Amino acid sequence: MSKYKNSVFYRLILSYTLMTVILISLAGGYLYSRANELMIEEISKDSQQRLQAVKDYMENTMLSRFENHVQNISMSTGFASNSVNLNYLLDNSWQNNLSRIALFSKGMELYALTSEGVHNTTVYLINGNYAIDKTSFYMEPENSTDYAFIEQLNPDYHDRWITRQLSDGQQVLTYVLKLPYNQPSAKPKGYIYIDVTVDHLRESISQIVTSPHEKLYIFSKQEEIILTTGEVEQGDEEQVRKALASSAASDGVHTMTQGNAVFSHLNAQYSGLDWSYAVMRPINTFSLSSERFKSNIFVICGIVLVLGFVISYLFSKQFYMPMKKLIQMVRTYYMPNQQQMSGNEYAFIGNAFNVMGEKINHLQTSAKKIEMKNLVLGANLNLEHTGSFPEHTRFIAAYIYMHDGQTTQFQQQYELKPSGHMQEVVCLNAQEAALIYYVASDEDMHAEQQLANELAQFRTTHAGSISFSASIGTIVATSDEIPISYQYAQHAYRYRFIYGKEAIIAYSDITKLEATPYLIAFDQYVNALKAGELEHVNKFLDEFSCRLQSGNRQLEAIELSVLQLVSSLYQAVIDMQLQKIVPPSNLFDEMKKESLEETIQSVRSHSERIVAHVKETSSHAHTDIIMELKQYIDEHLHEDLSLNVLSERASLAPAYISTLFGEVMKESFTEYVTRSRLDKAAQLLQSEPRISVAEISALVGYRNPQYFHNKFKARFGITPVQYRNVSKKASGVQ
């Protein structure tokens, strides 16, 4: 019995029986719809009468009374005895007429008191450019809270009712008349308008619409609600708008059923109005007798039920035979285990498709990974997956380097994070991955920065479990150019040498860097090493590191400067014959450090060893004397310097001083003086642009500018003027 209940044949009979119940419901629904039609006809007749009564009251009583109010004011009725004629004010400015204006404003206030519902009455006079209402006089209309509406007044507003909202948020209906009144062809000299509160109209109409379930709406031509009566429930307005749109072309009273309510619509026929009246009445508020339909409903439902059982059996038998043949065919390709055998025939076929689907998904996933990897690496040969990229989309490729070799974990976590952009992670190997970032056409300006921010935020969120560094390529227009963007990202990744291995670097940032190499006098560093001056060595290395990390030079320029530094250290080692203490092979290994900071620190360590050796092997007495003479030379470069001058200061023979100077400084007296003067000149050329080359020549001790010119070019390879120009360009970039 259990096997029979799980069979398709049994369930087919049940499903077709359910269809029988549906047919019965349709038949019963038809009968009840006939009853509802009768009910709706009664509701429609009552709604049409109620709607016509509201229309007559609104147009022939309420609005007509307010229009007469405006016309009486425009004709200055009642003001003649006080010499306050509106036509007189139209032709004259407010100067010398303040008393007339005050009386006119007082008269409007009295009219407002006698006209219930009038919120305000305003007159704008064009010739005098001033406005009057029932409480105030505005010499400049801009001072009026109603200036925005006054500014819009034009002949098209003549004899019209307008819906608007006052500055205090109150909803009013405004009626406008052009002045002078009863002269339609005359050019307007002013306008008069009254404001009637919507709340007053609602209270008046509510006396006609007494049913708590009946809701009256008045719409403008733009289908904006002017007023409504009764409590508006959620969805009522939208329901009425749909019904209004379907009946807008009708001239008379139009009634239709909308949802669970009867909707009656009537267009206004009053001059100057573009309104529509609508009444909505729920069907369930009426109860009609429908007992005579019950017997017919039961008879028809019984007939349909019997017919449904017969059809269910015939359809089930007809459908089950092809199903049985299909199962026999599937068994030839798929043999399930004992657990998969449970269930009916559909379950068997479903298990077969699931197994085949899993195999297909596995193959598709593997193929997609290989295709995306080939795409990033530039081996895109009409790959199928690239055709699934969204249209009108640009791409950015980012290079991801995992410090712990966890690219699979990075891919899983990154794809789970919430993001407003489509992204795809491609694992290349255990430590390297590529990120393809989809960019909409309107996001080109900030796409690279957005990607950098997302990577930085992701790294912060997973700081304890995932460690990586990244670089970002350029935006490309097609998927075929993704390898180009990835190559740019790899090139940008080399700049981790400057910014550190934790940096996220964008290729667009490094393209802005200057390619001009730094002009650095490495002789100062070499001489400080030879002299054993650790303080000067550290000062030079600190300034060197700070200058290279300023971030305004390309990597090649930084590497060139580092190579020059290491070469200078190598030169000092050879000159001082310290190869046993610092092997040259160790020096050039400094270029293989991962960051600039580590490289500088290693050079500093070797420099300290050299300085320590120099101090150990030097005579302390001789060193002190030579250091004092060196300081004297540095302070008197602009004077004539010779061994005789130094001999007088140290009370030693000139020849002995020359020997001591060479032993301590590792260079002759003449070489040191020449190098110091030229280094001082180079410094002045950079820092003092207003001093001429001839003046600088004299400041460093050269009386002959031509001789200074030759010496400077022999040392630096360029003339003093060229050196100054190069320095200006370099400082401008910084």
Instruction: Quote the DSSP letter at residue 514.
Output: B
Where is pLDDT greater, at 515 or 434? Answer: 434
Residue 624 contacts residue 542 (beta carbons within 8 Å): no
In this predicted structure, the answer to whether residue 402 has a pLDDT above a threshold of 80 is yes
What is this structure's pTM?
0.44
CA 597 to chain centre: 37
Task: Show the tokens assigned to 182.
Answer: 């009863």
Q: What is the pLDDT of residues 193-210, one digit of tens each?
A: 888 888 888 888 877 766
In this predicted structure, the answer to whether residue 79 has a pLDDT above a threshold of 50 is no
Task: Show the tokens assigned to 132.
Answer: 């009057």
Output the average pLDDT for the chain. 77
Of 45-49, 241-245, 658-662, 713-717, which has the strongest mean pLDDT?
713-717
Per cent of the chain over pLDDT 90 is 0
In this predicted structure, the answer to whether residue 567 has a pLDDT above a threshold of 70 is yes
Cβ atoms within 10 Å of 376's Cβ, excluding its own = 24
Backbone angles phi, psi at 423, to 5 degrees: -140, 155
Q: What is the pLDDT of residues 27-39, one digit of tens each?
A: 777 766 666 666 6
Nearby residues of 13 by Cβ (< 8 Å), 6 or more positions away: 312, 313, 316
User: What is the pLDDT confidence band of residue 430, given thresholds at 50, 70 and 90?
Assistant: confident
User: What is the pLDDT confidence band of residue 451, given thresholds at 50, 70 and 90?
Assistant: confident
Q: What is the pLDDT of residues 328-340, one digit of tens each?
A: 777 776 766 655 5
d(CA 608, CA 618): 15
In this predicted structure, the answer to whether residue 579 has a pLDDT above a threshold of 80 is no
Q: Is 129 left (phi over 0), alpha (psi -120 to 50) or beta?
A: left
Side-chain-side CA neighbours of residue 24 (13 Å):
18
Three-state DSSP at 177 gives strand
User: What is the pLDDT confidence band of residue 381, given thresholds at 50, 70 and 90?
Assistant: low
Residue 628 contacts residue 635 (beta carbons within 8 Å): no
| pLDDT at residue number 338 | 53
d(CA 121, CA 100): 17
In this predicted structure, the answer to whether residue 289 has a pLDDT above a threshold of 50 is no
| pLDDT at residue number 78 | 43
Cβ atoms within 10 Å of 502's Cβ, excluding its own = 13
